[in-house]
Amino acid sequence: MLTVFGSTALDTIRTPKKVLKNVLGGAATFASISASFFEKPGLIAVVGTDFPKKYHNILKKYVDLKGLSILDGKTFRYDGKYDKTLSNRKTLKTELNVLGDFKPSVPDEYKKSDFVYLANNDPEQNSKIIKEFDNVKFSMCDTIEFWITTKRNAVIKMIKSVDAVVINDEEARLLTKEENLITCAKKMMGWGAKYIVIKKGEHGSLLFHEDVIFPSVGFSLESVVDPTGAGDSFAGAMIGYLASKKKTSFSEIKRSVIYGNVMGSFAVERYGVNALTRLKRQDITKRIKLYEKMTTF
Amino acid sequence: MLTVFGSTALDTIRTPKKVLKNVLGGAATFASISASFFEKPGLIAVVGTDFPKKYHNILKKYVDLKGLSILDGKTFRYDGKYDKTLSNRKTLKTELNVLGDFKPSVPDEYKKSDFVYLANNDPEQNSKIIKEFDNVKFSMCDTIEFWITTKRNAVIKMIKSVDAVVINDEEARLLTKEENLITCAKKMMGWGAKYIVIKKGEHGSLLFHEDVIFPSVGFSLESVVDPTGAGDSFAGAMIGYLASKKKTSFSEIKRSVIYGNVMGSFAVERYGVNALTRLKRQDITKRIKLYEKMTTF
């Protein structure tokens, strides 16, 4: 059983070609929908009473919502603008709203989860909630600049309490205060995580475990529409794939990273969650095969 | 038979840790030494009378020097400074010296070369010299920002006259005026080259041929000392490998790119040409095996 804990948001996404207001977003939204193609996850998250019925219905289609709290007030909102290369995003506004007061807890039905993904939450909340699970076989977390700059020690403590960290390259450098990504990963493994995945956007990712590195390319795309949620979809695919296999051997973790690269590549092809919600299982299988074929030498 | 045409230089390299003055450098130096591990190349290049005997001896060890002209005057000099990440280099000074008046021609002994690499030369010179070979099976060129900004049309014309272009990502974008690397490659193939290799530094490279993409990772290194010559070593390994196989099938071109990634990774581990000149053939075989092992999933 798989549980994802993290944010559900109403996003305003500004790309050079289009501005979308108050669309379904949030790290846990992307991660849990992505994971659902492999194993239906339970979602621990919060929304406000303004959360549109249509978005509720989208979530319901992919994930179990026993862990979704609906609180009086407004849903967490994020507003960000991409530059013309779509490689850099500037945060214009963050309104925590109901997320600010949310006291998450694990529903009894989810406590037996053996796979748990802690999305970009407050690291103290992550460290606390992971203890509420009785039977964790594999736990994974991500983190973001905001927590690294405001609660670095808590982030380091959180890393001790999980099996794997998924983090992007810039955040890995910021967190570890190291430039070289191998050095970054070694430092994070020294803090306690057994597996580190450093995401490098279009350049793919690096998986680290003990003294082994598994570098993998991104799936090359000619058209990128909206990078929002790509990293969360990557992580969701990893944990979803592993939960579906009920295995955590290194070779399965490597394969989960390939699924991460592929699901991340789908995510950026349409605005918001639209690429994921149009996806069929056979599209994924087809792209995995294409990925294998294109990288073979 | 393999010929490399390009620059031989005395480099001043400024890294955050060390400054090296007037060390052996130049695109053709790195490319031809790198190629020599697979097939001994002939070198068409020019140096001045100030070119140190010890550097002459290094070159002689790896390449055939019938094509090396020694002209009255000073050797081409380059002076560049890396930032602290070693990812960006600023040119402080370029002195063409004897390179400015050099009128290259192909020695008779080299005219039967079936493999030819045209390093970062004046694109008009490259287009002219490639015609002097009688029997070219596979030709490849690189280019740099200087030629793209000063002789863009000549660069495009040069691309028409070769089989393959090896170019780094930023220069591909500058040349094609496109952002997406697939679009960049398609444009360059539209100009006439059949194979495009876009180098992405530590992130590896993308090989394009017709509608096929072959992405490959860089060989991950924990310690990078001096990136000078990495791209030239990459290209030299490609052409040297292909010349040694006497084959230009797509599967051999893919393998040549893997050798490119690996030789580029060696090049950055020591200052200047020192990493290449310390290298043994078995070091390369070992790292190729490690590369294959680390990328397998």
For helices B27-36 and B250-267, what crossing angle results, to 10°?
A: 110
Report the CATH number at residue B101: 3.40.1190.20
**What is the token pair recorded at A55?**
């978005």
Q: Which amino acid is at B116?
A: V
Spatial separation of the C-alpha atoms in residues A120 and A164, rounded to whole Å: 14
CB contact under 8 A, A254 and B297: yes
What number is the ipTM of this complex? 0.94
* Model confidence pLDDT, tens digit, residues A16-62: 999 999 999 999 999 999 999 999 999 999 999 999 999 999 999 99
Q: Given this model, what pLDDT does residue A55 score? A: 98
End-to-end CA distance of chain A: 37
Question: Which structural domain range is residue A144 located in?
Answer: 2-295
Q: Are A23 and A13 in contact (CB under 8 A)?
A: yes
Partners of A257 on chain B (C-beta within 8 Å) are 297
- What is the total count of domains within chain B? 1
Is residue A40 packed enough to be buried (19+ CB in 10 Å), middle (13-18) or exposed (0-12)? middle
The residue behind tokens 């850099």 is A88
- Selected for mutation to probe chain A from B177, B213, B220 (highest A CB count within 10 Å) is B220
* Model confidence pLDDT, tens digit, residues A151-175: 999 999 999 999 999 999 999 999 9
Nearest residue in chain B measured CA to CA from A84 = B179
CB contact under 8 A, B204 and A206: no
CB contact under 8 A, B297 and A183: no
Is a pLDDT exceeding 90 seen at residue B87? no
What parts of chain A have a pLDDT lower than 70?
none
Is residue B216 packed enough to be buried (19+ CB in 10 Å), middle (13-18) or exposed (0-12)? buried
Spatial separation of the C-alpha atoms in residues A25 and A40, rounded to whole Å: 18
Q: Are B165 and B184 in contact (CB under 8 A)?
A: no
Length of chain B: 297
Partners of B254 on chain A (C-beta within 8 Å) are 297
Is residue A46 packed enough to be buried (19+ CB in 10 Å), middle (13-18) or exposed (0-12)? buried
Q: Which helix (H) or strand (E) holds B283?
A: helix B281-295
Residues of A with CB under 8 A from a CB of B: 84-85, 179-183, 200, 203-204, 206, 212-218, 220-224, 251, 254-255, 257-258, 294-295, 297
Q: State whether residue B51 is helix, strand or coil.
A: coil
Spatial separation of the C-alpha atoms in residues A170 and A179, rounded to whole Å: 9
Q: Are B159 and B166 in contact (CB under 8 A)?
A: no
Pick A295's closest partner by Cβ from B200, B215, B224: B215
DSSP state string for chain A:
-EEEE---EEEEEE-SS-EEEEEEE-HHHHHHHHHHTTSPEEEEEEEETTS-HHHHHHHHHHSB-TTEEEESSPPPEEEEEE-TTSS-EEEEEEE-THHHH------GGGTT-SEEEE-S--HHHHHHHGGG-S--SEEEEE--HHHHHH-HHHHHHHHHTSSEEEEEHHHHHHHHT-SSHHHHHHHHHHTT-SEEEEE-GGG-EEEEETTEEEEEPPPP-S-----TTHHHHHHHHHHHHHHHHT---HHHHHHHHHHHHHHHHHHTTSSTTHHHHT--HHHHHHHHHHHHHHH--
Q: In the predicted model, what is the mean pLDDT of residues B216-244?
A: 97
How far A79 CA lies from chain B's nearest CA (Å)? 25
What is the pTM for the complete model shown? 0.96
Q: In the predicted model, what is the mean pLDDT of residues B14-29?
A: 97
Predicted confidence band at B287 (pLDDT cuts at 50, 70, 90)? very high
For residue A61, give the nearest of A286, A273, A229 by alpha carbon: A273
